[in-house]
Structure 1
């Protein structure tokens, strides 16, 4: 029998498959089913920084008295923010009572302002770790790369200094010096990085001439981007790496582990195929390890990272050539 146990963020997982933050991880009932289907850990649906602020602002707009009495505005803003957070804290508490797998809370943030106070409440509610989903789109022409990067470092340092539970960061690929930035982030005290965020993607409806959302779910082809960077970064960062986006089957799990990931996060495939796909992935991983005479994850984790691969140019090369693509 092969051993699928692995360590991620200092937490012991029964296997490296994690249900990523999504609408599927927003209820205790779903998380119980995810555990029954074999998942190693779960990341709760994110509590959004904007969600808290918007809830308060909307309530104020609906209450005419807020315009007459400043103290009413303060009360409404505080109440609605606390209500949003209160629901999230109850989700953490109830989930921890109902499952034995690690429960990772998540905050989607774009600044290092007042939301950081909620980290302590999340810790007190019993979360095993906190994943910070930080995404700063470098679209402001007045800001340089150092301005944008500072936000990530400020958040990382503040949260790791204040919390006792492990902190990870879910990051984008929008960095001019991605390798240097991520290696430096790994020195701040965070215990993990998740590569990469999956963003809202705009599309254009040409008949109605309007912008709409599209490309909600990932495809298996999208595994290539996180695979490249995990293979290139895993030998050098001082924290765990988790792969996100594009893992749709057991082969995808194996590929990311070979590249150096400690765990993989799933979402789109669970929407498309259901929770039972987790079991299929586990069977594929077990069968592959048995055929290759591996007894545990550490036997092969990172075996094909850039530091151990005989052909590192396979990761470094960016130009499309038939020699690398296999297309005549």
Structure 2
């Protein structure tokens, strides 16, 4: 007669004790995610006038549109938008004396980096680009290098520029909790309990992901891991989620929550609101997840709760235009 080792018997009993409460229960449905578009600001329609190649030691204009796809009525416009050129190769800015631009000595930031912007954006704390599909036309004038600076051969000035803006990300997700009594009733009747949890993610390049670590509906009293991470879907750049920039809010009925061990700290005293305790770096366009272990509250029959996460951030788009320069004869 074959005998199972004692440790194997213990393992079988232990596993049966863990999953026995769900044996025979039938859950149906699937999660639905609704996502608003990633784009907020777009850099489009870059042009050089006159058409290159540009003769040496002459001026040319670089123009492009910054389009805002946000909607002012719903508060989704980009805030504190700032537009800068930060590199122009061997060409030189030639906006001195133009209204709103000042002179070349003012085209530097506090670190001494050469920058040119658009009129009045510093005094206004940035510019909110026209909402609802509006656009702002940027126009910069440059002077091409001389023949001697070119070495009397064909050259290129690469003008590089960036657009930065403030925005807010928001994600709301459903958590469906079912009572023990309802589960037993469904099991006796051979019924499948079907729910469709909905997750909504707001407009913008940064998307907050809330991952519920259990199939739904979740039995009351069950402790479930909930992981929160941020994904960068945009064409621009942000290096990290700043310390205390991300908050997650649970329903008041959720009274047994452990977030402190998973990278959060309490944001509001005596409220189920938590924030990231440290900055969250982006690694391959996504942050490592933070975690909360949450015990589901009591439920009468079936109850849907919502969890939301919100984050304020600054995002930067980068673009560049190559301008061909040709030496002049003579």
Q: Please state which band the TM-score falls in when normalised by the shorter chain.
A: under 0.3
Structure with greater proportional strand content: 2
* Structure that is richer in helix per residue: 1
Q: Which has the higher contact order (CA 8 A, sep 6+)?
A: 2
Normalising by structure 1, what TM-score? 0.22
